[in-house]
Chains A and B, each alone.
Chain A
Amino acid sequence: MCTYETSHVAVEGAGKGADGWFPVTEATVYFDHPVAAMAEHTLNLDFLNRARGASARVAVELDATSAYALAQAILERLEAAPPALTGELHRR
């Protein structure tokens, strides 16, 4: 693949980039060629803050199996967390 097919997610949180922590406002998710991972295709995650410029970015490239396992682990942890702590999530 070599496409611009990208999912955009508005996020609230913080990420640690080359210049330290910064607020993240957007995540992009795409399955395409990696920059550094030793695979032909990877699931790529970028956490961005466009207002702070292109270098405000936390990037991860994972092979498909790892990315799937990670996504499941995220959902498992969220679903196992006490609803009192994730109330906003459960109201969605």
Chain B
Amino acid sequence: MRAMDEAMRAETVKFAGHGGDEIEGYLGQPLGGGPYGAVVVIHHMPGYDRESKEHVRRLAAAGFLALCPNLHVREAPGASPDDAAAAARAAGGVPDDRLVGDVAGAIAHLTALPSASGKVGTIGYCSGGRQSFLAACSLPLDAAVDCYGAFVVEAPPPERGLRMTPLLERAGDLSCPLLGLFGADDQFPAPAETARLGAELTRLGKAHELHTYEGAGHAFFSVDRPAYRVEAAVDGWRRVLAFFGEHLG
């Protein structure tokens, strides 16, 4: 339910993440009475940055409770987002089990808010796209959005030595409808990879909508980067809000 005047409160909060660790996140709440659906925003690999917080505020303005956990806070408490992202990279990245635990903690925080409807979704960008899919295969959700997440279908080339594993074999555990937004010029994930994802979800009878934008590559939602593609981003936001409105409303 959209707050008529779009009034919101947005702030940093502390909550229990994976393993009971106290972590921080950025929470946006519409100021009406609700009930509001809730969204966990999974930030991109460059970190818990200003633009990730803008996504939280935009969702709150549209009538959703939204919480973006700082996935790098353990490696770099109090550091700037870019330093924290570099520290997380140097330490090998965010482990999958820790990600799921942090998203579960964010969900618990959101659903305990007095204006929460109890419905919960996730949206993630870049590495967060894969993590949104991972969360949706690991936790009971009502909706999940994967924005250009790589290594959902294909494993990283073996010579790269990455520890990320593909998730396609987990697709049978997908707990909710999936919206996927991708760029036709992206190589990670490439259009052939996202087509395989769609085929597998169809085979499994899992509800999904996948859209691939021509003239866009990776990170087309990033308004502060050269990758920004206004047509894809505007249409992508329209689809995201409609999708969450349908499944979390």
Contact indicator B86/A46 (Cβ below 8 Å): yes
Chain A contact residues: over half helix, strand or loop, or mixed? loop
Q: Least Cβ distance of A78 to chain B in Å?
A: 25
Whole-angstrom CA separation of A16 from B227 in the bound complex: 30
Closest to B72 in A: A54
Closest to A35 in B: B82
Question: Total A-B pairs in contact (CB under 8 Å)?
Answer: 83
Whole-angstrom CA separation of A3 from B80 in the bound complex: 20
Interface centre among A4, A26, A30, A48, by most B CB within 10 Å?
A4
Contact indicator A6/B226 (Cβ below 8 Å): no
Contact indicator A5/B160 (Cβ below 8 Å): yes
Contact indicator A54/B84 (Cβ below 8 Å): yes
Contact indicator A33/B225 (Cβ below 8 Å): yes
Closest to B151 in A: A3
Q: Least Cβ distance of B79 to chain A in Å?
A: 4
**Which residues, 1 to 56 on A, are CB-close (under 8 Å) to B?**
1-6, 8, 26, 28, 30, 32-33, 35-36, 38-40, 46, 48, 50, 53-55
Closest to B217 in A: A40
Q: Kindly state whether residue A67 has any CB partner on chain B within 8 Å.
A: no
Q: Which B residues are in CB contact (< 8 Å) with A26?
A: 90
Whole-angstrom CA separation of A55 from B86 in the bound complex: 10
Contact indicator B89/A6 (Cβ below 8 Å): yes
Per a CB cutoff under 8 Å, which of A28, A30, A54, A59 touches B76?
Answer: A54
Interface centre among B76, B80, B82, B127, by most A CB within 10 Å?
B82
Q: Kindly state whether residue B139 has any CB partner on chain A within 8 Å.
A: no
Q: Which 3 A-B pairs have the closest CB atoms?
A: A54-B76, A54-B79, A54-B87
Tell me the A residues contacting B by CB distance below 8 Å. Answer: 1-6, 8, 26, 28, 30, 32-33, 35-36, 38-40, 46, 48, 50, 53-55, 57, 59
Tell me the B residues contacting A by CB distance below 8 Å. Answer: 44-46, 75-76, 78-80, 82-87, 89-90, 92-93, 126-127, 148, 150, 156, 160-164, 187-188, 217-219, 225-227
